[in-house]
Amino acid sequence: MKRSRSNTNIPVPSKGATNLFGSRTSISKPQRASSCNRDSVLGSVDRHRKPSQERKPSLERKPSLSRISRLTPLFNRASTLSVPSSAGGSSRRKSPGSAYREKKTVHQLVADTRWVDEQYQKVKYFIIENNVFNHPVPNLKPPTIKQFIHVIETLLVELFPGLKINQENYKEVIVDMLKVLKFSGSIPISTLKTVNVMRTWPQIITVFAFFIDKVNLQRRDPFEEVPRCFTTADEELNYKRYKLCEEHILREYRIFNGDFNAEDEQLASEYPRMIANLLGVDLDRIEWLKSDIEEKRKMAEAQDEELDKLSKEKDDILKANKDIDAKILEIEKSIETDTTKTREDLEDVNKAIEKLPALKKELDEHIAKLEVEIKAQPCTVEELENLKKEIDVLNNKIDIKAAKVKHAREIKEEYDLKLDEERITNRDMVIKWNMSLMKVIIKMPNLNQLLLPENGFHSKSYFEQLEEMLQMKDTVERQLIADISATKAQLQENIDMKRELKTSIAGKQAEIQKMRQEIETVTKEVEHYELEIDTIKNKQSKMEDELQQKLWELSNSSKLKELKATCDALTEKRNMLEIKRKKTGEKILATFIEVYDIMRKKIEMMVKVGNELEDSVHAATAAVVQKQEKKLQVCRALKEIQVRLTQLQKDDKDSKT
């Protein structure tokens, strides 16, 4: 087996090691000559290095592992997980130009020795902390099948308490559990059959670390509050406002379920004042302004009514003046006509006076004829009086009938007037109803059936049509209730999405903080390398001085060539270390600057999306509420028309009876 040149802490199995926690010590291989020379040259440097600067595997909890539960709240896993979960990954678009946003698969991560080393330390820490085995664990090695099943069973039973795993079914169970838990990649059955081989050791470490992450996620408190850091006063104010809203919603939910106390009721009643104090609003002044506005509105309405009354009186006066002028003209024309007629009558009278003698003679002749006729008349004076009395009785009956007819006509005119008034009122209400539906029909054409005809209010077909409208109104009300429920569900979904975005932003900020700490760590390592290089330079300078001095003393010595070769090797080694230091520092600095810019842009984009989502949610909520209010007003107006038409129908029946 080839010797690994990586800095990983995974132990290479020796011939003497046979299991995961064997007591036999490993046998080290003989080193090559090049490595011996390298160790002899750098031996003096290593002796001056402090013990704290040496890279040793530590059993202390690393920040990347200990901060899992603190940096990754529920439903938002951080970058310290062993394997990137595939749940929800297909719905996210990759942004071009950045390779750091792409999630690596398990097969790509297994080739990264540094990543495998981190998972190895995580597994080792979990086994030590949870005391998976009774005896202490000095080092991890490829396990036997029995030990592998024991570790997997310890992890899976905590996730799935009713799970049964043994040596016969462990391969199928592990493959099924990896699919259920959204493992990014695949583990072949052949790998699970040969878990005690060094070739499959990195994949086994990956499986252990994946299940350990799930166990840590299961143990974590889902309601643990993430510490927040505010950059502006508005951000802190918004957070406090949302915090008060969440507490108020939970309090109202407890009150709704009956699980509350006096403190909940008091806080629920003080919620508006708490929000007002948080926003710097004076509620007392607002109430005073509302009452003042209401009084002024009532005063304005009274003035408008008085102005309408005065305008109506003015119109009546102008109309009366016009009628008076017309009557004056009519009277003047009548006077002229009467004067002309009187003159004509006077002329006729004069003519008649001239004809009086002849007329007198005719009358005398006529009287003589009447006297002859009276003597020959068929009835007496008493009989004539009796006939007159009967005529008077008949005339009285005629007057009574005429009075009754007149009274009946007056009653008819009165009810006709009331009927006209009710018809006008109903017509105005129907017109108002149809006008109120005009805007609603533009958005909901199916409500066109709710339009009412503007005539024939007292007909039977109109009442039948009105009953159909009422049934349709009930259908519309049920539809409105369903729309309101759907709107509330959509609003709740938007609120949940907004909360998830905020949680994701908090996680990204934590990742940025972690990257800053890593940058500081790398910077310290670079400074440490620079100190080592300076130490090597100083030692080399001293050795060069010593060599120069020995050159004079040993100019004819046989060791001169060896010293020159050693000096050349040290010079070449120093140049290589200097070049490596510069390249490593530049590469690390460029990498972390790029990662920092990417994370900053991503966080700004998520904040912008959250703000746009909040604005859209508020606008949609206001539009839906306004739409529902208009529909409810339409339903109320329809109900009022129904009541008035029913009353009119009842009055009509009463008048007929």
Q: Which of 488, 492, 475 is nearest to 631 (CA)?
A: 475
Label residue 151 exposed, middle or buried (CB < 10 Å: 0-12, 13-18, 19+).
buried
Helices and strands (H and E) in the chain: how many: 18, 0
Q: Left, alpha or beta for 206 (phi > 0: left; psi -120 to 50: alpha)?
A: alpha
Query: What single DSSP character describes residue 222?
Result: T
Q: Which residue, chain included where needed, has tokens 């009514």?
A: 305
pLDDT for residue 172: 92
Question: d(Cα 79, Cα 508) in Å, to the nearest integer?
Answer: 10
CATH fit for domain 460-656, picks 2.60.120, 1.10.287, 2.60.40, 3.30.70:
1.10.287
Give the C-alpha separation, 155 to 510, whole Å: 28
pLDDT score of 344:
86
Residues 6+ positions from 336 with CB-CB distance below 8 Å: none
**Per-residue model confidence (pLDDT) at position 631:** 65
CA gap 184, 600 in Å, rounded? 27
How far is Cα 306 from Cα 311, in angstroms, rounded to an integer? 8
* Residue in 170, 169, 175, 136 with CA at minimum distance from that of residue 151: 170
Contact 447, 424 (CB under 8 A): no
Structure tokens at 254: 């407890």
Give the separation between CA 182 and CA 188, rounded to whole angstroms. Answer: 16
Q: Which structure tokens are listed for 145?
A: 């099948």
Q: Where are the alpha helices (DSSP H) in 27-81?
A: 33-41, 43-48, 63-66, 68-71
Q: Are 609 and 501 in contact, with CB atoms under 8 Å apart?
A: yes
Q: Crossing angle, helix 233-257 and helix 271-279, to 10 degrees?
A: 180
The verdict on pTM exceeding 0.85 is: no
The tokens for 545 are: 């001085």
- 598 token code pair: 């990417």
CATH match of 55-219 with 1.10.418.30: yes
- 447 contacts: CB under 8 Å, gap ≥ 6: 437, 440, 441, 476
Residue 196's CB is within 10 A of a number of other CB atoms, namely 19
State the helix-helix crossing angle for 262-269 and 271-279, rounded to 10 degrees. Answer: 50
Please, what sign has the CA dihedral across residues 618, 620, 626, 628? negative
Q: What's the pLDDT at 9? A: 38
Distance in angstroms (rounded) separating the CA atoms of residues 238 and 610: 13
Looking up tokens 């790029």 gives: 594
- C-beta separation of 185 from 89 below 8 A: no
Which residues of the chain register pLDDT less than 50? 1-81, 84-103
Distance between CA atoms of residues 413 and 385, nearest Å: 41
The C-alpha atoms of residue 642 and residue 475 are separated, in whole angstroms, by: 16
